[in-house]
């Protein structure tokens, strides 16, 4: 059940993402769906999801780990999952929606964690809203025009079709390596995504997925961004073997942003490195946010 509101809520009573209530807020005539948990004090941490992702695609181990010490908020962008409206087909429009969502909740300053496509969005928001964004974590992502990014839509479609034929979740091959350890980690991740059994989010629609694919393709074909314009502290993380957004993009981000820190790339991990290695990622992320 959703509770419309336009200001920060009282302290959430839930202790786990699996039972965090789904709420909603009005953003310029559209309803944005979100969940939150964790302590109320301090700067909120806004999570920006990957391509085709909805609220239930966040690893509960990552969300719960971060929410143990931070107020964490996940949300569906316009037209995705439980949020109404038409899904934007540019990263820049998604970034504007993210800013409007944050301001609709009444926050003057937030931190961001952007994963994959969410990392594209986070880069734009950080550059355009320096007073709103305090710190940024970028995972499994890359800069505009980064090598291999324009191929993400084709890889996603191929994996989706293969998954339909083999009855295998495409995230298993897209987010994790094909080694025994990688496959084991991927299967464990997929099981964790099933822990929430009530009030689950809607899957992304085909039309919204197409719009996101167009946005990602455009991002991959754009001229490189001036990352020196991002002056906030940034933590950059990924696996060594990201086949979606090649890991070279992670190194590029860390090298080109003036206040970036690179987490050593997680071995035998791919695009979902922060999920596979959540036991290492969460403490490092909290350390960065609290420093």
pLDDT in tens, 85-119: 999 999 999 999 999 999 999 999 999 999 999 99
Residues pairing with 33 in the sheet: 24
Q: Is the pLDDT of residue 9 over 60?
A: no
pLDDT score recorded for residue 14: 58
Separation of CA 44 from chain center: 15
Percent of the chain at pLDDT above 90? Answer: 90
Q: What is the pTM of this model?
A: 0.94
Q: Is the dihedral of CA 68, 19, 86, 26 positive or negative?
A: negative
- Count other Cβ atoms within 10 Å, centred on residue 192: 18
Q: Taking residues 203-232, report their average pLDDT.
A: 95
- b (16+ CB within 10 A) / e for 236-251: bbbbebbbbbbbebbe
Q: Taking residues 28-53, report their average pLDDT.
A: 97
Tokens of 146: 């980064």
Q: Which run of H or E residues covers position 35?
A: strand 30-37
Tokens of 208: 């919204």
pLDDT score recorded for residue 236: 98
Confidence tier at 284 by pLDDT (50, 70, 90): very high
The 8-class DSSP code of residue 148 comes to: T
Residues pairing with 113 in the sheet: 47, 137
């Amino acid at each position: 059940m959703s509770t419309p509101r336009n200001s920060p809520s009282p302290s959430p009573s839930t202790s786990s993402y699996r039972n965090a209530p789904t709420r909603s807020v009005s953003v310029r005539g559209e309803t944005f769906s979100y969940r939150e948990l964790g302590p109320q004090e301090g700067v909120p941490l806004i999570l920006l999801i990957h391509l085709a992702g909805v609220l239930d695609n966040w690893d509960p181990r990552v969300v719960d780990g971060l929410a143990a010490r931070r107020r964490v908020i996940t949300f569906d962008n316009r037209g995705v999952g439980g949020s109404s409206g038409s899904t934007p087909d540019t990263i820049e429009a998604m970034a504007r929606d993210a800013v409007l969502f944050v301001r609709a909740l009444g926050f003057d300053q937030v931190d961001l964690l952007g994963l994959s496509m969410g990392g594209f969005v986070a880069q734009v928001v950080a550059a355009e809203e320096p007073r709103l964004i305090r710190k940024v974590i970028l995972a499994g992502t890359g800069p505009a025009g980064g090598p291999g990014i324009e191929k993400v839509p084709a890889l996603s479609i191929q994996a989706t079709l293969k998954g339909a034929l083999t009855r295998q979740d495409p995230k298993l091959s897209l987010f994790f390596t094909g080694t025994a350890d990688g496959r084991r980690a991927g299967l464990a991740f997929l099981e964790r995504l099933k822990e929430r059994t009530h009030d689950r989010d809607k899957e992304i629609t085909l039309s919204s997925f197409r719009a996101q694919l167009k946005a990602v393709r455009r991002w991959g074909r754009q001229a490189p961004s001036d990352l020196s314009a991002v002056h906030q502290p940034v933590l950059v993380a990924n696996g060594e073997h990201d086949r979606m957004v090649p890991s070279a993009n992670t190194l590029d981000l860390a090298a080109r942003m003036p206040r970036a820190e690179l987490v050593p790339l997680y071995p035998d991990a791919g695009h979902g490195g922060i999920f596979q290695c959540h036991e290492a990622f969460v403490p490092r992320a909290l350390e960065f946010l609290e420093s």
